């Protein structure tokens, strides 16, 4: 096979050399060593991005992806690896067949989130069987949606929505963890939902809790309670 043929995809379009096997070998990623603080978007920002996705099939797919990342707390790779059969609406469960480290787990997703998926699932049912989040148009329809394309569409939509902060898939997962903590969900349940091996990793996700909330919570603690007799003895 000549080099030109190797750089054509299934639709006959020219492929970028970046997509070829071995291209990244020996090339350190641009974000190597960078550490981003836990900075989860607010509910208002997430809803604004969902509203900016538009009414087409591409918009419905992005809204569905946001829902799965935000309301089920999945990693972007886990979401894009989902098959249609991994959704169990009757139980409110999503099956992650190969999470980080190849571990399988089931996670929950709330009723509101399932309702938000309906429009995309109707579109998905008209396409070839395959990945839940797939290519919608052209000869490759039904194939897995690539993470790079999903990230690009999410970033552009956030800009259109006027969200003036970094808006990446993993931040939606952070938002999920922080919201569960606010709702009083036990830390061990959050750990299982996110698929973490230990609670230490889960606690990092909760660093997105605003410091003013911590101050207000501690400041409003009740005074220590002591018995009346203890007080009288101290007063002598």
Q: Which residues are catalytic?
A: 75, 100, 170, 173, 196, 205
Nearest alpha-carbon partner for 47 in 161, 166, 209: 161
User: Reading across the β-sheet that carries 105-108, which strands appear in turn?
Assistant: 87-88, 93-96, 105-108
Who contacts 60 (Cβ-Cβ below 8 Å, separation ≥6)? 53, 119, 120, 123
Contact (CB, 8 A) for 158 and 146: no
């Amino acid at each position: 096979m000549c080099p030109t043929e190797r750089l054509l995809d299934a639709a006959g379009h020219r492929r970028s050399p970046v997509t070829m096997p071995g291209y990244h070998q020996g090339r350190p990623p641009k974000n190597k060593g960078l550490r981003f603080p836990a900075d989860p978007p607010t509910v208002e920002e997430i809803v604004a991005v969902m509203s900016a996705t538009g009414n087409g099939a591409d918009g419905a797919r992005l809204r569905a992806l946001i829902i799965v990342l935000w309301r089920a707390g999945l990693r972007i790779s886990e979401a894009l690896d989902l098959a249609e059969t991994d959704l169990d609406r009757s139980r409110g469960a999503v099956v992650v067949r190969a999470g980080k480290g190849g571990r399988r787990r089931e996670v929950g997703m709330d009723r509101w989130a399932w309702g938000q998926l309906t429009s995309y699932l109707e579109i998905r049912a008209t396409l070839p069987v395959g990945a839940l989040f797939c290519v919608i148009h052209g000869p490759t329809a039904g194939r897995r949606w690539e993470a790079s394309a999903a990230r690009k569409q999410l970033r552009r939509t956030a800009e259109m929505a006027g969200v003036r902060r970094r808006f990446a898939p993993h931040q939606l997962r952070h938002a999920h963890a922080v919201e569960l903590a606010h709702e009083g969900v036990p830390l061990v349940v959050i750990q299982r939902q996110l698929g973490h091996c230990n609670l230490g990793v889960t606690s990092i996700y909760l660093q997105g809790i605003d410091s003013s909330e911590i101050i207000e919570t501690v400041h409003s603690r009740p005074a220590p309670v002591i018995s009346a007799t203890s007080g009288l003895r101290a007063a002598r």
